[in-house]
Amino acid sequence: MAKTLKVKFDKCWRKSNLLISIAVILDPRNKMKLIEFCFPSIYYLIDVANKYIAIVRKNLYDLYEEYVTAHFLATLEKTTQGDGTDGGSSSQLNVGKGRSSGRSMFDMFIRSMDSVEYVKSELYVYLEENVYICDETVDSQLDVLDFGGR
């Protein structure tokens, strides 16, 4: 019975560990540094700890890429809907202004890609920056969601 419970616990821990880990990483006081600090203590073997650190990092980037894709599609949809000159279909974009519809579509694509490329680098930049070191007297009530406003 104990083995069965341990298998169930380990399965549950792996899922919640990933969720907790991503939440911890998004706190500017921790980032990946806390994961890299704690996992060797949790998993005892450095190879196992490194394996789980890699899993967390991969899932974080996968999640981020999912949001980037969603942002790209939303931006492309907004741009496509907003550029019609007579409310017609997107295949008739800007034809009346002397521009071909193919060029219009390409321009929208480039505008969307430029914004997506900038967004893609934010996670990398965030993880590479130093962690925020709290001054306990000043930051005792740090609001992580409002941290960007500092």
- Both tokens of 106, joined, read 């390409």
Q: What is the pLDDT of residues 38-84, one digit of tens each?
A: 899 888 899 999 999 999 999 999 999 898 888 888 888 887 776 55
> What pLDDT is recorded for position 88?
44
Higher-confidence position of 147 and 34: 34
Looking up tokens 């203590």 gives 41
Question: Mean pLDDT, the chain, as a whole number?
Answer: 76
Alpha-carbon distance values, 76 to 14, 61, 110, 114, 126 (Å): 36, 22, 10, 12, 26
Helix axes 46-82, 101-128, angle to 10 degrees: 150
- d(CA 72, CA 106) in angstroms, rounded, equals 14
Q: What is the pLDDT of residues 3-13, one digit of tens each?
A: 888 888 877 77
> What pLDDT is recorded for position 79?
76
- Both tokens of 127, joined, read 């993880």
What percent of the chain clears pLDDT 70, i.e. is strictly above it?
68
Rounded to two decimals, the pTM is 0.60
147 within 8 A of 139, measured Cβ to Cβ: no
Model confidence band, residue 87 (pLDDT cutoffs 50, 70, 90): very low
